[in-house]
Amino acid sequence: MTRDTIEYLLCDVSSVGRAREEHRWLDSVLSPDEVAQESRLRQTTNKVAYRSAHILFRLMAARRLGIEPRDAAGLRFTRTCRSCGGPHGKPQIAGAELSLSRSGDMVAVASAPSPSHIGVDIECIPSEVFAGFDDYALAPGESLSPGANTTRRRIELWAAKEAALKATGDGLSVEPSDLEVVRTDCAPSSEYWAASIRAAVHPELNRLSLAIIPCPPSHVAALSCADRLPLISTDLSELLIG
């Protein structure tokens, strides 16, 4: 991995499950706090997805930090809310710029060189959005005609805004309708960086760059960062070899 690039991984939970069967040490990389959080989840599918996501997050951190995958167990995982200081903010590991997202059976993880704060979001495309979605999620300049054919576009806008809000750590303390996704001209070498955030009342979010990253047709995924660094995809097998 080149250090001045952004790296991202999209992976389904079943692939992590197969890796856990082959590499039994993977379950040991989670901290006691993460194991406790997993145990509080009621549905087995949520437990498995949580464990898979956090294993991938730690492996991506180890890769960014240049340490052996097995040593991911020694990394300190924290969540601190930017607004209240509670333990439910952006997931972090000291020394690495990371972001994590999960939707259904898909997990997205991204890492960037410090101090390029990064946000990634992946969303399963529903058959339709909830009532009132446009008023809550869209800026005035993003109005779309009703209909199932625009559902994907709505979720793309939502994922882009979620990615930006994760990059800054604001989360949904900022109304998504305060943000507008605008198309931008980009150089051929930055083909994914095709949009940015317009948010006049939120300077930390204004002009953050956005990329829509390839994923299965059932989902959409977006990545946000202030710096338009080269994007490189990786896979689970690369994370396992360090």
Whether residue 42 is predicted with pLDDT greater than 70 in this model: the reply is yes
Domains present along the chain, CATH in parentheses: 6-241 (3.90.470.20)
Q: Is pTM beyond 0.95 here?
A: no
Model confidence at 185, pLDDT cuts 50, 70, 90, reads: low
**Mean per-residue pLDDT, 40-55:** 95
Q: What is the pLDDT of residue 10?
A: 97
The token duo for 116 is 């390029």
Per-chain mean pLDDT for the chain: 90
Q: What is the pLDDT of residue 188?
A: 46
Model confidence at 108, pLDDT cuts 50, 70, 90, reads: very high
Model confidence at 5, pLDDT cuts 50, 70, 90, reads: very high
Per-residue pLDDT tens over the stretch 128-157: 899 999 999 999 988 776 654 789 999 999
